[in-house]
Structure formats: C-alpha cells, structure tokens
Amino acid sequence: MTQLGLLKLVFMLELLAAEYIFLCRLKRRRAFRVRLSLSYLACIAVTLFFPVLAYNAAYASVMFLLLFGISVLFLKLCCDESWINIFYCAFAAYTTQHVAYAFGELVMTVSGLTDVFNDLGGGVLGGGTLSNYGNGSVQLINAFEYLISFVCLAFTYWAFYLLFADRIKQGAELQLKKISWFLIAFSLVLVQVIFNAVTVYYSYAHFDRLYYIISVLYNIICCIVALCLQFIVLKSERLENELGVISYLLRENSTST
C-alpha cells in the first residue's frame, strides 16, 4: 500500500469520527446504531477500493472531496434531517478533520520531528515534509508519524467539540436559512483543501521550512474562521427565530386583551 493509499483510509476514519461528534445530537432514524455501523463499514469499504490513479494535487483534492461526499450520502441514511442540516454538520466535521491534520503537520515541522523521521527513513520522506501524499511504500517510521498525528487529532476534536459541536442542542432544529453565508464558509474551506494539496506537493520538491509553516498556519486560521462563521450564522438564526416567537406571542397577547 502506498502512503497516499493509507492516507485516504486514515482520512475516512478521522472524518467519520469527526462527523459523529457533530451528528450525534441530530434526529435519528430507526435502528440508528445498526444504520450507523453499516454506513461506517460501507464508507471504509468504498475508501479501500477507491483507486489512486495519480499522485498530484488535483487528483488528491478531488479524491478527498469525493470521499467526503460519499460519507454525507451514508449519513443521510442515519439521521432524519434535511440535506442542508446534514451537510452543515458534515462540513463542520470535515473542517475539524482538516484542522487536526494541519495541526499535526505544524507540530511535526516546528518541532523538527519531520527531519528526524526523514533521516531515519533514509531520505524516503523527501523534502523535509511528510510524504503521506506520496507513492512510496508505507514503512515502520510512518507509524510514529500517525501516532503524533493521532495525539494532535484527539486534542483538536476535544477542543472543537467544546467550542462548536456542543452548541448543537439535542434534538434541536437547526432551521438554516442564510445559505449564502454557509456557502461562503464552504468555499473558504474548499480553497484551503486544494491549497493544502498544492503546498504539500510543492514542498515535497522545494522544501522551505518557513514557507511551509506559514502555509499551514494560514490553512488552520482560515478553517477556524470558516467554522466560526458557520456557527455565528447558526446562532443568529436561532436568535432570530426566538425573537419571531416572542413577537408572535406579544401580538397574540395584545389582540386577546
């Protein structure tokens, strides 16, 4: 299995974990646990058989976005929610997973562990960056990379659960109406996913530590801004709905008196 072949499987596992954080409070269909288990198994199976036909930024970006879309389709089978609500939460999960990945890259690069693993791996990592997007075979040294990435992922998921996912109330209606703002946030993250792939492949051949660190930081900041924008819109619409209910009750009270 190539490094990119393993990365797509790790990506799907991380994505499914992040999606559960955001979707677990939505309305569930009957036999939710069975549906969820079968959906997760189906997503993993699709990911395993998804072909890696090229090793470049364009194909990597399209592959990850398609895998994300497939996960959204299966999640719709588990939750009794509108498509926009499903996609809203799934997109928040995708953003969380991407931040966790970028955070792991940042820790590896700033700490110098990338260079250590590169030396231990006999130079197979190349260019000073993690070669998870490469066509080289997976080696034992990659296990340490994924271990560090897992620690960064666990911290990011915990923090984002407290900051964002916990704001979705159990069984509450999202009632999203301002789709334009949501599309802006989605476009921002979409650009960052493509930008990240371009940066990884460029840095693989022309590594510059400062450039790579700045790129990863920019990626993280843009994703956090997009996620904040998502939940600001959610909060504003919730307050708007509550204000509408209060106004309606006041009108009813005034007409009855």
44, 46, 64, 81 from 50: Cα distances, Å: 10, 6, 10, 28
User: What is the gyration radius of the CA atoms in the chain, in angstroms?
Assistant: 21
> Average pLDDT of each block of 10 consecutive residues along the chain (257 residues)?
83 94 85 93 95 88 93 92 84 92 87 64 41 59 73 94 80 60 74 82 76 88 87 73 72 70
- 192/223 Cα distance (integer angstroms): 7
User: Residue 164's CB: how many other CB atoms inside 10 A?
Assistant: 21
Domain locations along the chain: 3-256
Predicted model pTM: 0.82
- 154/90 Cα distance (integer angstroms): 18
